[in-house]
Amino acid sequence: MRSCALLFFASTLAAQVPYERILNSDREPGNWLTYSRNYQGHRFSPLDQTTAANVGGLKVKWAYQFRIGARKFLRLSPTT
């Protein structure tokens, strides 16, 4: 059990994004490095693949439905 806990914590430490990388997140517009994309909390992607001209062609890439008590939730991710 102790080795499982050690492995879990080691893997979470390895998965952390360094502060400097998040601070300079505009250098990596294709990577969403933290919640809200950057420390300013923009929650907006600077990428321009989705436009007013092609947004109607988006389709669901994946969906995950889960239930908490009596409430049902559905999560979707669009794709072009």
- What per-residue confidence (pLDDT) applies to 11? 54
Using pLDDT thresholds of 50, 70 and 90, give the confidence band for residue 58: confident
Burial class of residue 22, CB neighbours in 10 A (0-12, 13-18, 19+): middle
Which residues, including other chains, have CB under 8 Å from residue 58's CB and lie 6 or more apart?
50, 78, 79, 80
- What per-residue confidence (pLDDT) applies to 53? 94
pLDDT, tens digit (0-9, with 9 covering 90-100), for 6-49: 555 555 556 688 999 999 998 998 888 888 888 888 888 888 88
pLDDT, tens digit (0-9, with 9 covering 90-100), for 40-49: 888 888 888 8
**77 in helix, strand or coil?**
strand
